[in-house]
Chains A and B, each alone.
Chain A
Amino acid sequence: MKADLRIPLAVAAALILAAVVAFGAPHVVGDYFVRILLLIALNSILVLSLSLSNGFTGVFSLGHVGFIGAGAYAAGILSLTVQQKKALLPHLPDLLNWFSLPFLPATLAAGLFAAILAVIVGYPLMRLSGYFVSVATMGFLIIVNVVLINASDFTRGARTFTGVPLATSLPWVLGWLAVTLLVLSRLVYSPFGRRMKAVRDDTIAASAVGISVLRARLVAFVIGAFFAGVGGSLYAHYLGSFSPNTFYFAMTMNLIAMLVLGGMGSLSGAIIGVICVSILSEVLRSVERGFTIGDITVPALFGASQIVLGFLFILIMIFRPKGIMGDRELTFGLSGRSANHNQKEGKDR
């Protein structure tokens, strides 16, 4: 179908742009903007991976950050040097302590690890609906947190996990973002993607026409978890050091805010949400530190930016619960029309 080709095409166009940005940006703008750009791209990967289950399949998981955390720790353990392992993780099992993986394989392994975890967790949990699946996945997140804190042979426990090589650069992140976007756009706008959306829109009707609800949800959950694990690895290699609470409710809330603001049923919406929230947070954060205009000194108000974001979030829930994009896609002017619009037109003809 022509309408379905437009999105990969749009993605390709965006990629060329991204490549130019990736390699050009550091020469043009300062470190600060490169850092923001990198965080936007990184968060885009995380929010996109979240959108697969929460947005497109209607399984509102609160446990997604558990996969990100699992990926971050898995990648961190794999890519520490052998000497670092001996110093920082002296009780690491022999199986893991004699080698060190480069960035890419460590990241792939992290994604795979998160995906396997998602199969195990998702197989029972994807049978639940509504907020029961939300509460159950939240339980999963808490369990991951408890395990990260207590499995100190692997994770150094509540202490900071350090020494991960700072390998995450803008080209790497944009590259992975491109892969994520390509895979997800192919998936979401495929027949299987339509099944996912059918499951979301009317679970009973979907199963009545022979769609396996469990299978659709599980596939979305597992693929989402894979990219969450990849994102976790990128995050780990960006931060270098982190602790179990890096991957907990604050991050959950942040990613959900980005997803919901952008629009839960739209890939471009997810990215738009990330951009909006990131820019807004940066602006608010600089205001929050306190500033002086003429004779007036505004004192630092820590927490104010989150309060503003929270209110914004509630306003969106009340007045625009579908977010900025809703179910529509931005197609970068290639078609000038939304994906849904195209599909509807196709039906009318």
Chain B
Amino acid sequence: MATADPLLRVDNLEVNFGAVRALKGVSLDVREGEVIALVGANGAGKSTTLRSISGLARAKSGTVTFAGTVINKRTAPQIVRLGIAHSPEGRRLFGGLSVAENLRLGACTRSDPDGVARDTEKMFVLFPILRERWKQLAGTLSGGEQQQLALARALMAAPRLLLLDEPSLGVAPLLVRHIFDALAELKRQGMTMLLVEQNIALALELADRAYVLRTGKVALSGIASELRVDDRVAQAYLGAAE
């Protein structure tokens, strides 16, 4: 199924938290321009997978290869510079900093002020609310606004690959639609994304392909549109609860 040279290849990744094996050999790949969904029950290892790609968690074994470079020994800031931006679970904004300052830090690895200015304008098109809230402290935004800022902050790094962890979490239903519209627009523009999402229906609607994780392993993978009607996806969820 994998063609030559995917943008990101995760190979047999194992991660331990103390005595707990969080990932037991996860393999997946993401090709340029693809949107990949990573779904599964709580504790299946979705966030851990993203965290070990972006350098927050250290793998015990296995490799992560990005654009031909093995990155799983690199630090998180180095990985950002290579072109992977991670919008983490819980958003992790700098609440005491303004919207403007958060976005500026999102671009802190870049040295092209013109490009940064252009991308900031793009963010205003994608998330108009950010222009209104420009001087406001991030901590005072609503959940949905914070999520938009978190996405924008990650995008300001001008990544080649965007890792998204639960963009719908803590967001009012109406705004969830809005956020996924923005993600669809990003997809149309050619952004490569690896998306972790509890809301399977939304995730599979947006994604090209999907991997279903279950207790630290890939239980199932395939074309998103096919998985949408596959009973085994639901079983993977229920099975994880045993």
Q: Do chains A and B touch in the complex (CB under 8 A)?
A: no
Q: Which residues of A come within 8 Å of B, CB atoms?
A: none
